Amino acid sequence: MYKQIASNQRKTFLLMTLFVIFIIFLGWFIDYLTNSGNIFLILAILLSIIMSFVGYYQGDKITLALSGAKEIKKEDNPYVWNLVENLCITAGLPMPKIYLIDDPAPNAFATGRDPKHASIALTTGIIQMLENEELEGVIAHELSHIKNYDIRLMTIVGVLVGTVVLLSEFFIRGTFFGLGGRRKNNQGGALLLLIGIILAILSPLIAQVIQLAISRKREFLADASAALLTRYPEGLASALEKISQYPHPLRRANNGTAHLYIINPFGKTKSFLTKLFSTHPPIEERIKALRAMI
């Protein structure tokens, strides 16, 4: 388990580094093509700062509101409260806020900027469907996201993706309105312009693929951390097996928060393209990895 955690941390760091390099290159390349100085690089930095502050301080509230989650106290559901509290004591974490989502689809997610400002949301369906050890494995998975600062990481990645999309859109709009003059000089400039347009169109797609890759790596890491916390990998493996068999999506599933859930909230994915852009690795691979730890 320690080897898997270390491996996923290295791969995630590498992906994040490549993401940042990609954004810097994109900003520089757009500036070069449009002969606009460093305007796009400066714009990327400013957008990242503004979006980071909003995501850092308000991202959890927005996520919980979008999901329709309602906060509960101990007297509302002592069973769930005690499970979370016991695992927090074991993990050495402060008690997060607990939310319930009135939905028969079994799912769960964690949100917040750090362990002191964290929340866990569970659907009513997952509480009803799973046995004690299985639900404990799911909660341990979400606590692992909090302990590993996965949610902060995914907020940063979301900001980077948003920056790439905005830079690309600004470049495409600027091209049609005649921004810059470098491309008018010669045929080589026209070729660079064509390359720039293609890159601007493909950049959001590339950024999304990188975001999804990072999200998938964090799911494997959280699975390993949950197994380490409960000392019972089969609990989470069995939970994932049951959850994956539920045929219907969450009622309030959306693309903006899909990567936070323990499994894809849109239901089963069948086509190659759907799997490529899924925010989660295949359930079969996660179950296989967990059972290899037994």
| Tens digit of pLDDT at every position of the chain (294 positions) | 566 567 656 766 776 677 777 777 777 877 777 777 787 778 777 776 776 677 778 878 888 998 999 999 999 999 999 999 999 999 999 999 999 999 999 999 999 888 999 999 999 999 999 999 999 999 999 999 999 888 777 766 766 676 677 767 766 666 655 555 554 455 555 665 666 667 667 766 766 676 676 677 789 989 999 999 999 999 999 999 999 999 999 998 877 788 889 998 987 655 555 555 566 888 999 999 999 987
Q: How far apart are CA 185 and CA 75, in angstroms?
A: 73
**Other beta carbons within 10 Å of 12:** 22
The total of structural domains in the chain comes to 1
pLDDT, position 135: 98
Q: Is 142 a catalytic residue?
A: yes
Give the relative orientation of helices 150-176 and 39-67 as an angle to the nearest 10 degrees: 130
DSSP string, 255-280: TTTGGGBSS-TT----SHHHHHT-SS
Q: How far apart are CA 51 and CA 33, in angstroms?
A: 26
The torsion defined by the Cα of 106, 86, 141 and 248, in degrees rounded to 10, comes to 0
CB 100 within 8 Å of CB 157: no
Residue 84 Cα distances to 133, 156, 224, angstroms: 12, 27, 18
Q: How many residues does the chain have?
A: 294
Q: Which of 142, 169, 241, 285 is catalytic?
A: 142
Per the structure, the complete domain to which residue 156 belongs is given by 2-291
**Other beta carbons within 10 Å of 213:** 16
pLDDT, position 289: 94
Q: Is 264 left (phi over 0), alpha (psi -120 to 50) or beta?
A: beta
Q: How far apart are CA 184 and CA 193, in angstroms?
A: 9
Lookup: tokens for 151: 């949610």
Does the pTM of the predicted model rise above 0.85?
no
- State which amino acid sits at residue 230: T
113 SS3 class: strand
pLDDT, position 232: 96
pLDDT, position 121: 97
Bridging pattern class, strands 117-123 and 97-101? parallel
